Every structure is written in structure tokens, then in C-alpha cells.
């Protein structure tokens, strides 16, 4: 049986500062080695200052993944020499001397399958190595410490996955949960990384390190299973080893380093006292947690009558569900949900498009209202949406400028109706015996108004003018 | 100009206009240039402090508000960072390290108009108790320069003792303030863990060490504590001392106090002169109205082994950052791969540091931790419990600071085990986080003996009152240098 376990590293990208100093957690906007200070550079004499907000956010993740949360948390040192680590040890958490990491055992459902979480720990991200030079002989290694000290949450699962698809489904759910909690933006480059342990029936466990994106994680698992199965079929032993994910070639490569043999000599980090998380704090954290995805979904269905598939899509994406929450009223909720899921999601399917879009919740509310009151046809609303995304202009000026408004002025419409009646005398006659034919006349009016005639008013006028009831 | 005055007397003299800061500081610099050849208390001397002294004088004359130190010349152990100056830890590894920040204690002293006359010598990275392990040469004991001044804050103690400054800051991981204070006949104070911020103190064994003052009198130590103690957002381990005034009520006395004489610290290994001094101290404490009684701390016999196991482990981790990639000394990286580079770069560590880091790599390692490191932690927690129980019955504990008299340079440097035993009486306060002080108590054949008092955590004020009371019972000769 194939068994896959994951170690997922998720940066708490929504925090202001790093885990132990006031440098920015969002290091991405900085020039190389500009987001550093004596603390995250581990200068002699500097001491870590624990970011309490990071502890809270990490505990919230533990709670959302149904993990046990301890009364006291502690930090440990993981000792190893590596150039991306300014202190040559990493401050992390450990549960071998009792459960003292932010989260203990937990689980989440992926479809009908329960995936068990082993533990969740809060730790610091190391810096980033940049390799330059053409051959391995004259290769130079540069270090960018901007990332060093970024708050990182490690989520360790039991080996409960049997297929790469299950891994992908889990990751999708996990990343929805994390963004819904408002703790991280999983779409940011490098914000989510993972190691995977893969083994097949009759083989040893192989650890794949350094997988830089969720997308690649599924691929890596797939590659590794295939590789192991192929070895197995040829009666070649599958040895326990650590492999690295080669980002370029999309394959796993055996790492010649002796990482497996490293002895991290864990011990308590004396510079950070134990943090007590009393019952009150637990309660506060729980009550401050944002509504869960499943609860949102249920509410959308039961309160607004939104179809279950639409509610599912809407609730699992924090960006759109936030937009929905701000835009909808009791009367237009269904329409808002409809615009978001059928139109907006297609128009803003990349991060760049989301970020450059000028749409606000007000736009969305007004547009839904306009559709419901017949001011704009559903057809023209698409054009309006395009324009709003691009320009951010308010709905009424978009309608005026693009002439998207329905013709609902009675005298104006009456002239057109009269014109149609005179042009289509044959159809008018037919309509007297066959009331269905009146729809043909409505269609003609629509043609003349380029679809902007108020359909209800048109029908009303046609009936009056032809005497058909 | 009398350089021999205490810190409090100095402040009075400047306040009353009897002496000028400039005068005192320049005489101090002169004194350093005269005697430090023999003592080598300083690794570096600040030449440009006279401008600062003159500015403080100006403030005094114009009646402006002056900080509590009034330009007092202070020496700082060279493992405490002063912004823009070198902080070497007496190591070749940090030969060129310039900290871009002040330690919290330095900031506080600067606010109070202290003048830093120089960085004091120490055993490399504070590992040692003779100051012989300084990479820049040993210090001498002002009482007899052939003798060691103790350590690791040997330069600090010697500089105060030899009147090269009014007071000094050292650090105490296993006795590194109290031991040299005892050997040089000055007061050395190790506070309750967390009372003084460690921000800017270069870590050796961070879970048990504290910065502490070395001064001529107990009152001076209280004066220094008033300035440098307190909660610090830069050090999460600091405790809220409620801004205690350690000076007020220092003359309160110790009448009715119950004092335990720690049996395990006065025994076979104690030199006869030290034993005699201890007996004398006990009778003097009783003369002051205290009752003294022998008390046993069973775990003390394992304390030194536990201490070296724990400190080596922490040192191995704390000193891992010295890979010379981000700061350190000139040694180009080109042509090296990471591991071979750092292996070579780290050869600059001296023998004692290297020895402790090798131990530190071994005792907590997989397969060994159970036998060594975890066992040491057990001793630590048992000892802490024992001491806690003792303080339910006693207000204070007494023992000689060091079981032996100061010894000659070179006498024990090649015998690490013999050196380790010298720590027997001081490590308990560190392992249990308790405050402890060494008070100059006797001079035997021209060599100082210090008496140690230990109090329960957060009873620093009472400890200083007791130390003051004991100090008043002795009248010691002046240092010969």
C-alpha cells in the first residue's frame, strides 16, 4: 500500500513582523539583505523577542485543524550548521518532552477521508541561498537573509494519503482554511513549501525535501511513486533516503548530503520563557476565529437560498466570500453570489488580475440591485463588470457612458413598439390567434433597442397597442 | 586626587564641587597607563572620554540635570556590547567585531552619565575562572600580580581593586563575577535571574547567566543595580522588579534572620584559611543578631558536573554562529565550500572554548543525552527544589565564595578538573537562579578571601542588606598596588 505523509511549511504572511524581531514578515518587497536587523542576523549579544501575535495565529491554525492545544508552549533549539541560518541553530518547537508545540494531534476531513495531523509547530524560516556561477567548480553561494526569522508554521500529517490526488485535495482544503483564517496568503511565492514522505508496499520510507509549491508536491509524489514502483518491479531494493525535488527537471534526486545522519541536539531555548496559554486565552482565540468555511456554506444555503454548488465555491475562497459578505443585502444575496461565481471568478482568475481590479463591494451591490430592478439586463451587466474592473468608475456612469441602461422610458419605448407593429402586421395578426407570437414581437423590439428595452414594459405596451390580452 | 573613593563618595564629591569629572577621569586614565602594564585588566582603553567628562562638568556647574553617575569612570567586561566599539570576548574569533548597538545596561548607564574608560579582560567567551584563557594575555591580581585575579570577570575585578575605575560590570555564569571579586577583594553581585537585562551580553550559557556589578562597597553595588536592573522588552527573560530601590533601607540589618551554612561547601576541599574565615563570618553574623545553623544541600556534590554539562551544551549552540561569514576577522571565503571554510575559520577559538564546545557537541547528542545532558538537567531541577525547600526555613545561606585562596598564574591552567572544583561554591546560585553576593571578608598572607551570601529569588534587597551588615564587621588593609 502506498503511504504518503506531509510536512507542510506555511509562512504567516499576514503578520507585520518576523517571529523574533520587528523586521517585516513580508520580506518580498525588499532589496537583498535590506530586511534584516541584529536579532534576525543573530549578532552576538542580540536576543529573540517572541512575537505574541504569531503565537496566537499559529494556535488558531491548530484550532482550525482540530488539534489539541497545550496550556504552555515552549521553544527549542535545533542545532545544525548551514549558511542560510545566521545563528547556526533554528528556534523551533518539539514535542518529545511533552506536548509543548502550538498544536498536538488533530484531523481534517478530505471528502470522506480523515487525514490525521500529528502536530503543528511554530518556528523561524531561514534565509535564502542564491547560487551563481556556471560550473560546480566556480560556483558561488550568496545568502539573502531577508527571509530569516519569518514566522513559519509546520504542519505534520500522519502517512494517511494513498494517492497524489488525495494529497492535492488535502492541500486545496488546507490552503482554503489558512486563507480563510486570515493568517496566510498561500498564493504568495514560497509561502507554502513541503516535504513529503513516500513509501510503497515492501519499500522503505523516502523523504522528499524542498518542494516549493503545492502544485509540485502532487507531481513529486506522483514521480516518486512511479520511481519506487519501477524499482520494485525490477526487484531493486528501495532504500531509506532523502531526496530533493528538482524544480527544473521535475524529478526527485537523491541528496548526497548526510542530512539523515544529522543530530540536532535539541534543547530548550532559554532566551524565550514558556508561554502560558490559559483557558481564557483559549476561549478568546476561539471566539475571535473567523467563521469556518463549512459554516459559511451552510449559512449561504439556508439563509439566502443560494444553490449548494454556488455556496461551496463561494465559501471556500476567502477573497470572494469577503467580497460577498460586504456586497450583499438580504434581498440581493443570490444575485451577488451569481455575479461572483459566474462572472467575476472568470474575470479575475489570476493573482495579478485580482490585484489590479478596481471593483469594490459597492459596485457589486449596485450591479446586483440594477439587475434585479431591471435597470440593466443580465447581458449588459457583463459589459458593465468589465468596465468596472478596468476603471473603477461607479455603476451609473458606466451605464451612461456605455449606454447599457434598459430603455424604460414609456414614450420612447412606445414609439419603437408602434414602429414594430406597423412593420410586422402579419405577425400582429397571428398573435391574435396565437399568443406565443407576441414573444417574436418582443424580440423585434429588443433588436431595435440592442437588447436594452425593459422586457416587462415592452410586453405591456405591445399588449395594449395590439389589444391582445 | 584620591582615586580610592567609593562610587557614592565620588558622586558626592562631584556634586559638592570638590572634584571635577575631568580631573577624576584623567587621573583614572593616568592610573591605568601606570598600573595596567602589570595587571592587564583592560583589553582596550577609551582615549576620547575627556570631552564627555568636560560636558558633564559643564552640566554640574550650570545646575543642569545630571545623570546619577556624574561621569563616574566604569570598566565593562568585554563580552558586553558598547555601540561602535570593539567587543572581542577576549577571543581572536571576534577580533574585529563592532556591535551596532548598546547593551541595555550600557544604554541605562549612558542615560545616567557614566563614562566608560575601557573594556575589561576576561577568559575567552567568559569560560574560565582565572582570566588566563584570554586570547590577549592573562590579567594579574592587584594584591600580588603573580597570582590570578580569578575569572572570568578578572579584568573587571582587578580594575576596581587597582583603582583603575570606580566600578565595573561583569557577567556571572557560574561564579564569574563573585569568584574574581573574592580573589581581588571587591564586592561582586550576581542578581536573581532576570533582574538585569542580558540584551547585549554575548551569550555563553544563556539560561543561567546574569550581568552583575563589581564595586568597592556593597552600597555601590546597590547603586549600580538601581541603574541597570529592570524589565526590558529586548530580553524576554527579564522579570518585573517593580523598580525597587536597592539602596534605601540597606542599613536595615539582619537581626532575627535565619542563616544556613551550606555543609557541602565547607568541607574537605576548603583551604584552612578559608575555613577559619567562614567560622569567623558565622560568628560575626550571629553577633549581628542572626541565627546560623548548618544545612545540607545534597545535590551540591553533583552541581559542578551538572553545571559543566549544561553550560557546554548551551555554549556549543551559542557559539555556533561564529562561522566568520557575517562578522569576525579577515579570512577570505573564496575557494572554500561552507563546511571546510567554517572548520578552518573556527580554529581561531582558544583551547578552553574548543574544549567546552567539543564537550557541548557530545553531552547532548543522540545516544549520550540520557547519560549526560538530561541527567544534568535533572540535577538542576532537584537542586532547585532542594534550595527552594531550604529557603522555606532560612532567609539566607552562607558559604565561602571560593573554597581556596587565589593561586599563582599557571598553577592550575593545565588541570581542568582541579579548576572545575574551584567553582563548587558558586554554581548553585546560577543553576537555581538565586541571587548571590561575594563580600570582601579577610586577607590571609596578603591574599583576599570573600564570603558569599545567597538569598531566595527576588530577595535581592534583603541580600544586599545582609551583605552590607557583614561588610561593616570587617576592616581590611588597602590593596598594595
Tell me how far apart the alpha carbons of residues B139 and B122 are, in angstroms, rounded to a whole number. Answer: 8
Look at B234 and A49 and tell me if their CB atoms are within 8 Å.
Answer: yes
ipTM: 0.96
Angle separating helix axes B373-393 and B300-318, nearest 10 degrees: 130
Q: Convert the pLDDT of each residue in A199-239 to its tens digit.
A: 999 888 999 988 888 888 999 999 999 999 999 999 999 98
Question: Nearest CA of chain A to the CA of B340: how many Å?
Answer: 12
Mutation target vs B (from A45, A86, A276; most B CBs, 10 A cutoff): A45
Q: Which of A41, A81, A266 sits opposite B323 (nearest CB)?
A: A81
Please compute, for residue B346, the number of CA atoms within 13 A of its CA located in the half-sphere on the CB side.
Answer: 18
Min CA distance, B95 vs chain A (Å)?
A: 13
Residues across chain B: 481
Instruction: Report pLDDT digits (tens) over A60-75.
Output: 999 999 999 999 999 9
**Residue A43 to residue B327, Cβ atoms within 8 A:** yes
- Distance, in Å, from the CA atom of B49 to the CA atom of B114, rounded to the nearest integer, reads 10
Within 8 A of A86 by CB-CB distance, chain B residues are 321, 326
- Give pLDDT, residue A410: 75
Residue B356 located in a structural domain:
no
Q: Is B326 on the interface with A (CB under 8 A)?
A: yes
Residue B225 in contact with residue B191, Cβ under 8 Å? yes
pLDDT band at A261 (very low <50, low <70, confident <90, very high): low
Report the percent of chain A where pLDDT is more than 70: 97
Does B184 map to a domain?
yes
CA distance A37 to chain B (A): 10
Residue A88 to chain B, least CA–CA distance (Å): 5
Please tell me the predicted confidence (pLDDT) of residue A402: 76
Identify whether the C-beta of residue A223 lies closer than 8 Å to the C-beta of residue A252.
yes
Distance CA B472, CA B297 (A): 29
What is the count of residue pairs from A and B with beta carbons less than 8 Å apart?
99
For an interface test with B, give the residue of A44, A52, A137 to mutate (most B CBs within 10 A). A44
Q: Which helix (H) or strand (E) holds A142?
A: strand A140-144
More reliable by pLDDT, A358 or B255:
B255
Helix/strand/coil for A268: strand
User: Is B237 close to A41, i.e. CB distance below 8 A?
Assistant: no
- Beta carbons within 8 Å of A49's beta carbon, 6+ residues apart: A20, A21, A39, B233, B234, B236
A3 or A449, which is more confident: A3
The answer to whether A159 touches A196, Cβ cutoff 8 Å, is no
B325 touches chain A (CB under 8 A): yes
- In this prediction, residue A136 carries a pLDDT of 67
The pLDDT of residue A256 is 65
Which of the 8 DSSP states describes residue A147? G
The parent domain of residue B208 ranges over: 7-251+436-471
Q: Sign of torsion, CA B327 A25 A47 A94?
A: negative
Nearest CA to A369 out of A354, A351, A386, A381 is that of A381
Residues facing residue B77 across a β-bridge: B120
B343 in a domain, yes or no? no
Cβ contact, residue pair A44, B103, below 8 Å: no
Confidence of residue A260 (pLDDT cuts 50, 70, 90): low
Q: Do A270 and B361 touch (CB under 8 A)?
A: no
In this complex, the residue of B314, B320, B325 whose CB is nearest that of residue A83 is B325
Alpha carbons B252 and B465: distance in angstroms, whole number:
6
Distance separating alpha carbons of residues A100 and A94, to the nearest angstrom = 7
What are the two backbone dihedrals, phi and then psi, of residue B118, each rounded to the nearest 5 degrees? 175, 170
What are the phi and psi torsion angles at B225 (to 5°)? Answer: -60, -40
Q: Cα separations (Å) of A243 from A34, A221, A283?
A: 33, 12, 42
A182 in Cβ contact with A63 (< 8 Å): no
Question: In this complex, is the C-beta atom of B421 within 8 Å of any C-beta atom belonging to chain A?
Answer: no
Of A46, A77, A273, the CB nearest to B236: A273
B77 tagged catalytic:
yes
Q: Nearest-CA neighbor of A157 among A207, A121, A119?
A: A119
Residue of B nearest to A257 (CA): B339
Q: Which domains does chain A have, with CATH numbers?
A: 3-282 (no CATH), 293-401 (no CATH), 410-466 (1.10.10.410)
d(CA B476, CA A315): 81
By C-alpha distance, the chain B residue nearest A264 is: B365
Q: Which of B6, B91, B134, B152 is catalytic?
A: B152
Answer yes or no: do A265 and B364 touch at CB < 8 A: yes
A:237-276 residues touching chain B, CB 8 A cutoff = 263, 265-268, 270-273
The confidence score (pLDDT) of residue A348 equals: 87
Chain A contacts of B319, Cβ < 8 Å? none
Answer yes or no: do A38 and B364 touch at CB < 8 A: no
B97, B237, B361 member nearest A273 (Cβ): B237
To the query of whether residue B159 is one of the catalytic residues in this protein, the response is no
Which of A50, A268, A270 is the best mutation test for B, with the most CBs of B within 10 A? A270
pLDDT tens digit string along A279-332? Answer: 999 999 999 999 999 999 999 999 999 999 999 999 999 989 999 999 998 889
Cβ contacts of B327 on chain A, cutoff 8 Å: 43-44
Q: Tens digits of per-residue pLDDT, B70-128?
A: 999 999 999 999 999 999 999 999 999 999 999 999 999 999 999 999 999 999 999 99
Which residues in chain B are closer than 8 Å to A44, comparing Cβ atoms? 81, 87, 89, 94, 97, 99, 202-203, 321-322, 327
B residues 190-219 lying closer than 8 A (beta carbon) to A: 198-203, 206-208
pLDDT at A258 over 60: no
pLDDT above 70 for A408:
no
Structure confidence by residue, pLDDT tens digits, B202-243: 999 999 999 999 999 999 999 999 999 999 999 999 998 777
What Cα–Cα distance (Å) separates residue B132 from each residue in A333, B32, B221? 80, 20, 26
Pairing status of strand A106-110 against strand A113-124: antiparallel
pLDDT at residue A379, rounded to an integer: 75
* Lookup: cell for A469: 390580452
Task: State pLDDT tens for residues B169-210.
Answer: 999 999 999 999 999 999 999 999 999 999 999 999 999 999
Kindly state whether residue B284 falls inside one of the protein's structural domains.
Answer: no
* Cα distance between residue B275 and residue B400, in whole Å: 8
Q: Where does A291-377 have alpha helices with state H?
A: 293-304, 308-316, 318-327, 333-339, 345-347, 351-356, 361-372
The helix/strand/coil state of A124 is strand
The more confidently predicted of residues A403 and A70 is A70
User: From CA A294, how far away is CA A314, in angstroms rounded?
Assistant: 11
| Chain A environment of B320 (Cβ under 8 Å) | 79, 81, 87-89
B231 lies in some domain: yes
Q: Round to the nearest angstrom and report the end-to-end CA distance of chain B.
A: 17
Contacts of A233 (CB under 8 A, 6+ apart): none
* Annotated catalytic residue within B139, B159, B171, B176: B176
Residues of chain A neighbouring B364 (CB-CB closer than 8 A): 265-267
B119 or A240, greater pLDDT: B119
CA distances from A68 to A118, A120, A215 (A): 10, 10, 29
Instruction: Closest CB to B320: pick one of A50, A89, A271.
Output: A89
d(CA B329, nearest CA chain A) in Å: 14
How far A82 CA sits from the closest chain B CA (Å)?
8
Query: How is residue B169 written as a grid cell?
Result: 560590570
Answer whether residue B378 is part of any domain. no
Q: B314 pLDDT exceeds 80? A: yes
Write down the residue that cell numbers 502536530 correspond to: A119
Q: Is residue B457 part of a domain?
A: yes
DSSP H or E segment with residue A59: helix A52-64
Chain A touched by B374 (CB under 8 Å):
no
H/E/C letters for each residue in chain B? CCCCCCHHHHHHHHHCCCCCHHHHHHHHHHHHHHHHHHHCCEEEECCCCHHHHHHHHHHHHHCCCCCCCCCCEEEEECCECCCCCECCCCCCCCCCCECCCCCHHHHHHHHCCCEEEEEECCCHHHCCCCCCCCCCCCCCECCECCECCCCCCHHHHHHHHCCCCCEEEEEECCCCCHHHHHHHCCEEEECCCCCECCCCECCCCCCCCEEEEEECCHHHHHHHHHHHECCECCECCCCCCCCCCCCCCCCCCCCCCEEEEEHHHCCCCCCHHHHHHHHHHHHHHHHCCCEEEEECCCCHHHHHHHHHHHHHHHHHHHHHHCCCCCCCCCCCCCCCCHHHHHHHHHHHCCHHHHHHHHHHHHCCCCCCCCCCHHHHHHHHHHHHHHHHHHHHHCCEEEEECCCCCCCECCCCCCCHHHHHHHCCCCHHHHHHCCCEEEEEEEEECCEEEEEEEEECCCCHHHHHHHHHHHHCCCCCCCCCC
Q: What is the pLDDT of residue B18?
A: 96
CB B50 within 8 A of CB B89: no
Number of independent structural domains in chain B: 1
pLDDT in tens, A6-34: 999 999 999 999 999 999 999 999 999 99
B87 — contact with chain A (CB < 8 Å)?
yes
> What's the grid cell of residue B21?
569629572
What span, in angstroms and rounded, lies between the C-alpha atoms of B104 and B408?
36
Mean pLDDT of chain A: 90
How far apart are the CA of B55 and the nearest CA of chain A, in angstroms?
A: 30
**Is B95's Cβ below 8 Å from some Cβ in A?**
no
Residue entry with cell 407576441 = A438
* A246 phi, psi to nearest 5 deg: -90, 105
Residues from chain A that touch B326, judged by Cβ atoms under 8 A, are 41, 43, 86
Interface test with B, best of A265, A266, A274, A275 (most B CBs within 10 A): A265
Whole-number pLDDT of residue A460? 84
pLDDT score at A421: 86
For residues A135-156, average pLDDT: 90
The pLDDT of residue A427 is 82
The yes-or-no answer on residue B58 being catalytic is no
Residues 6 or more apart from B64 whose CB is under 8 A from it? Answer: B58
- Which chain A residues touch B234 with a CB distance below 8 Å? 47, 49
In a domain, B327, yes or no: no
The 8-class DSSP code of residue A208 comes to E
pLDDT band of residue B443 (cuts 50, 70, 90) is very high
Average pLDDT taken over every residue of chain B:
96
Query: Which CATH number does the domain housing residue B194 bear?
Result: 3.90.1300.10
Please give the grid coordinates belonging to residue A424: 410586422
CA distances from A366 to A333, A394, A457 (A): 12, 9, 22
**Strands B167-172, B258-262: pairing kind:** unpaired
Amino acid at each position: 500500500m502506498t503511504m504518503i505523509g506531509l510536512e507542510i511549511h506555511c509562512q504567516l504572511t499576514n503578520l507585520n513582523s518576523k517571529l523574533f524581531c520587528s523586521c517585516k514578515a513580508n520580506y518580498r518587497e525588499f532589496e537583498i539583505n535590506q530586511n534584516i536587523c541584529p536579532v534576525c542576523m543573530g549578532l552576538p549579544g542580540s536576543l529573540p523577542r517572541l512575537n505574541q501575535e504569531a503565537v496566537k495565529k499559529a494556535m488558531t491554525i491548530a484550532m482550525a485543524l482540530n488539534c489539541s492545544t497545550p496550556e504552555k508552549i515552549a521553544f527549542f533549539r535545533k542545532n545544525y550548521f548551514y549558511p542560510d541560518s545566521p545563528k547556526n541553530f533554528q528556534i523551533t518547537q518539539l514535542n518529545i518532552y511533552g506536548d509543548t508545540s502550538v498544536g498536538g494531534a488533530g484531523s481534517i476531513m478530505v471528502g470522506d477521508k480523515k487525514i490525521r495531523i500529528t502536530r503543528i509547530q511554530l518556528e523561524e524560516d531561514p534565509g535564502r541561498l542564491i547560487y551563481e556561477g556556471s560550473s560546480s567548480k566556480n560556483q558561488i553561494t550568496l545568502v539573502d537573509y531577508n527571509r530569516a526569522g519569518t514566522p513559519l508554521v509546520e504542519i505534520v500529517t500522519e502517512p494517511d494519503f494513498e494517492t497524489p490526488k488525495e494529497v492535492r485535495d488535502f492541500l486545496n482544503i488546507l490552503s482554503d482554511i489558512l486563507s480563510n483564517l486570515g493568517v496566510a496568503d498561500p498564493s504568495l511565492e514560497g509561502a507554502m513549501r513541503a516535504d513529503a514522505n513516500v513509501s510503497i508496499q515492501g519499500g522503505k520510507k523516502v523523504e522528499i525535501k524542498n518542494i516549493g509549491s503545492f502544485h509540485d508536491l502532487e507531481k513529486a509524489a506522483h514521480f516518486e511513486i512511479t520511481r519506487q514502483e519501477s524499482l520494485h518491479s525490477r526487484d531493486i531494493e528501495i532504500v531509506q533516503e532523502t531526496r530533493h525535488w528538482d524544480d527544473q527537471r521535475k524529478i526527485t534526486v537523491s541528496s548526497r548530503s548526510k542530512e539523515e545522519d544529522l543530530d540536532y541536539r535539541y534543547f530548550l531555548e532559554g532566551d524565550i520563557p514558556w508561554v502560558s496559554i490559559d483557558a481564557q486565552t483559549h476561549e478568546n482565540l476561539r471566539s475571535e476565529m473567523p467563521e469556518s468555511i463549512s459554516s459559511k456554506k451552510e449559512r449561504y444555503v439556508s439563509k439566502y437560498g443560494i444553490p449548494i454548488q454556488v455556496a461551496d465555491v463561494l465559501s471556500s475562497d476567502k477573497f470572494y466570500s469577503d467580497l460577498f459578505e460586504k456586497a450583499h443585502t438580504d434581498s440581493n444575496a443570490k444575485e451577488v453570489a451569481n455575479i461572483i461565481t459566474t462572472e467575476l471568478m472568470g474575470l479575475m482568475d489570476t493573482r495579478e488580475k485580482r490585484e489590479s481590479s478596481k471593483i469594490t463591494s459597492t459596485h457589486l451591490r449596485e450591479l446586483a440591485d440594477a439587475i434585479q430592478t431591471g435597470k440593466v439586463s443580465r447581458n449588459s451587466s457583463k459589459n458593465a463588470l468589465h468596465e468596472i474592473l478596468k476603471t473603477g468608475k461607479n455603476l451609473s456612469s458606466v451605464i451612461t457612458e456605455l449606454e447599457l441602461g434598459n430603455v424604460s422610458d414609456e414614450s420612447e419605448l412606445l414609439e419603437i413598439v408602434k414602429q414594430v407593429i406597423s412593420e410586422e402586421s402579419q405577425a400582429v395578426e397571428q398573435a391574435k390567434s396565437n399568443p406565443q407570437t407576441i414573444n417574436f414581437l418582443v424580440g423585434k423590439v429588443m433588436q431595435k433597442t440592442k437588447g436594452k428595452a425593459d422586457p416587462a414594459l415592452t410586453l405591456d405596451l405591445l399588449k395594449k397597442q395590439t389589444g391582445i390580452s | 586626587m584620591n582615586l580610592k573613593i567609593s562610587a557614592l563618595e565620588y558622586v558626592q564629591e562631584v556634586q559638592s564641587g570638590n572634584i571635577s569629572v575631568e580631573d577624576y577621569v584623567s587621573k583614572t586614565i593616568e592610573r591605568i597607563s601606570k598600573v595596567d602594564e602589570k595587571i592587564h585588566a583592560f583589553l582596550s582603553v577609551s582615549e576620547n572620554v575627556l570631552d564627555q567628562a568636560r560636558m558633564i562638568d559643564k552640566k554640574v556647574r550650570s545646575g543642569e540635570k545630571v545623570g546619577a553617575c556624574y561621569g563616574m569612570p566604569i570598566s565593562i567586561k568585554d563580552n558586553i556590547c558598547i555601540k561602535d566599539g570593539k567587543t572581542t570576548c577576549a577571543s581572536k574569533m571576534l577580533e574585529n567585531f563592532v556591535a551596532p548597538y548598546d547593551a541595555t545596561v550600557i544604554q541605562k548607564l549612558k542615560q545616567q552619565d557614566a563614562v566608560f574608560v575601557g573594556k575589561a579582560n576576561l577568559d575567552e567567551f567568559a569560560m574560565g575562572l582565572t582570566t588566563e584563557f584570554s586570547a590577549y594575555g592573562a590579567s594579574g591580581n592587584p594584591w600580588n600580580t603573580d597570582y590570578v585575579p580569578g575569572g572570568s570577570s578578572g579584568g573587571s575585578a582587578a580594575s576596581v581593586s587597582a583603582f583603575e575605575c570606580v566600578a565595573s560590570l561583569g557577567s556571572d555564569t557560574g561564579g564569574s563575577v563573585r569568584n574574581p571579586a573574592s580573589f581581588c577583594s571587591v564586592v561582586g553581585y550576581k542578581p536573581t535571574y532576570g533582574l538585569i537585562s542580558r540584551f547585549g551580553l554575548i551569550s555563553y550559557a544563556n539560561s543561567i547567566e546574569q550581568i552583575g556589578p563589581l564595586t568597592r562597597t556593597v552600597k555601590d553595588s546597590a547603586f549600580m543595580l538601581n541603574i541597570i536592573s529592570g524589565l526590558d522588552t529586548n530580553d524576554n527573560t527579564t522579570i518585573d522588579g517593580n523598580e525597587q530601590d536597592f539602596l534605601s533601607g540597606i542599613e536595615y540589618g539582619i537581626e532575627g534572620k535565619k542563616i544556613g551554612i551550606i555543609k557541602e561547601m565547607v568541607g574537605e576541599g576548603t583551604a584552612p584559611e578559608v575555613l577559619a574565615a567562614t567560622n569567623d563570618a558565622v560568628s560575626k553574623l550571629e553577633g549581628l543578631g542572626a541565627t546560623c545553623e548548618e544545612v545540607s544541600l545534597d545535590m551540591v556534590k553533583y552541581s559542578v558536573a551538572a553545571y559543566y554539562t549544561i553550560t557546554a551544551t548551551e555554549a556549543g549552540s551559542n557559539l555556533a554562529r561564529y562561522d566568520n561569514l557575517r562578522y569576525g576577522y579577515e579570512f577570505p571565503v573564496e575557494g572554500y565550500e561552507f563546511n571546510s571554510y567554517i572548520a578552518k575559520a573556527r580554529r581561531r577559538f582558544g583551547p578552553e572554548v574548543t574544549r567546552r564546545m567539543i564537550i557541548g557537541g557530545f553531552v547532548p547528542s543522540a545516544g549520550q543525552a540520557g547519560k549526560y545532558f538530561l541527567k544534568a538537567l535533572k540535577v538542576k531541577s532537584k537542586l532547585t527544589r532542594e534550595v527552594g525547600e531550604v529557603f522555606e526555613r532560612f532567609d539566607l545561606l552562607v558559604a565561602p565564595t571560593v573554597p581556596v585562596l587565589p593561586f599563582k598564574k599557571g598553577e592550575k591552567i593545565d588541570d581542568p578538573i582541579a579548576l572545575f572544583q574551584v567553582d563548587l561554591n558558586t554554581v548553585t546560585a546560577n543553576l537555581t537562579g538565586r541571587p548571590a553576593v561575594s563580600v570582601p571578608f579577610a586577607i590571609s598572607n596578603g591574599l583576599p578571601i570573600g564570603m558569599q551570601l545567597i538569598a531566595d529569588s527576588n530577595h535581592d534587597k534583603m541580600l544586599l542588606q545582609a551583605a552590607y551588615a557583614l561588610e561593616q564587621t570587617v576592616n581590611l588593609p588597602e590593596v598594595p598596588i
